[in-house]
Chains A and B, each alone.
Chain A
Amino acid sequence: MNAFAEPRNVRRAVGALAVVAGLALGVLTAADRPLVGVGVYAAAMVGVVAVQSRAETTVFDERDEAIAEEAAQLTLTVFGWASAVVFPALTLAWGLGYFEWGPATSAVALSVAVLYLTYAGLQFAVQRRR
């Protein structure tokens, strides 16, 4: 019997493989084994595709998309509010000499800025399509 006939098994396998992929990349890179990390990551992601292709019924559908959309929107909102408070506060602290922008905080600030620029750009692009 195909174990992937049951959608629940496929969802679990996909979730587990995605976690393994992410953890392998992060942990093995931190452990100074980047090539092994990328190798495990790639193998796990191939596994994700393979498992889904063996599924005999619908595994992910419009409800999953709706959940992902809502979660993405909430993520942006949380980041938005955090950024609206944290970054001006850090900039104020920097201006007053209480804080120094280091590589890590600068990278986080830059990533958030890139995230919102991407969001604004895609919003514009999607709006033009509709």
Chain B
Amino acid sequence: MENALREHRERHGLSQRDLAERVEVTRQTINAVEGDRYDPSVELVFKLAAFFEVPVEELFSPDVDLGATVSDLD
């Protein structure tokens, strides 16, 4: 899963530690998410999106084909 976490964090002048404290995880987790080494839980994804006040899609995007959509039913 690709993400724009680093960009959003830096735009707000936050360190990894600051952000980690705000969303109640460790600095290592923020570092791992930014480095694409760890896919966060749905809960953390929503927490981060809520913290930055952006839609989830603005922060995270899947790097796989999501497959069928409901439009395909037509």
Chain A residues with CB under 8 Å of chain B are 7, 57-64, 66
Among residues of A, the one whose C-beta sits closest to the C-beta of B20 is A58
Q: How far is the CA of A59 from the CA of B26 in the complex (A)?
A: 6
In contact, B27 and A63 (Cβ under 8 angstroms): no
Residues of B within 8 A of A64 (CB): 26
**Interface residue stretch chosen among B7-15, B36-44, B54-62, B66-74:** B36-44
In contact, A62 and B21 (Cβ under 8 angstroms): no
Q: How far is the CA of A7 from the CA of B21 in the complex (A)?
A: 11
In contact, B29 and A57 (Cβ under 8 angstroms): no
In contact, A61 and B27 (Cβ under 8 angstroms): no
Among residues of B, the one whose C-beta sits closest to the C-beta of A62 is B41
17 further A-B pairs in the complex, CB-CB below 8 A; given A58-B20, A64-B26: A7-B27, A57-B20, A57-B21, A57-B26, A58-B21, A58-B25, A58-B26, A61-B29, A62-B25, A62-B41, A62-B43, A62-B44, A63-B25, A63-B26, A63-B32, A63-B38, A66-B38
Q: List 29 contacting pairs A-B, 8 Å CB cutoff, sorted by A.
A: A7-B26, A7-B27, A57-B21, A57-B26, A58-B20, A58-B21, A58-B24, A58-B25, A58-B26, A59-B26, A60-B26, A61-B24, A61-B25, A61-B26, A61-B29, A62-B25, A62-B29, A62-B40, A62-B41, A62-B43, A62-B44, A63-B25, A63-B26, A63-B28, A63-B29, A63-B32, A63-B38, A64-B26, A66-B38
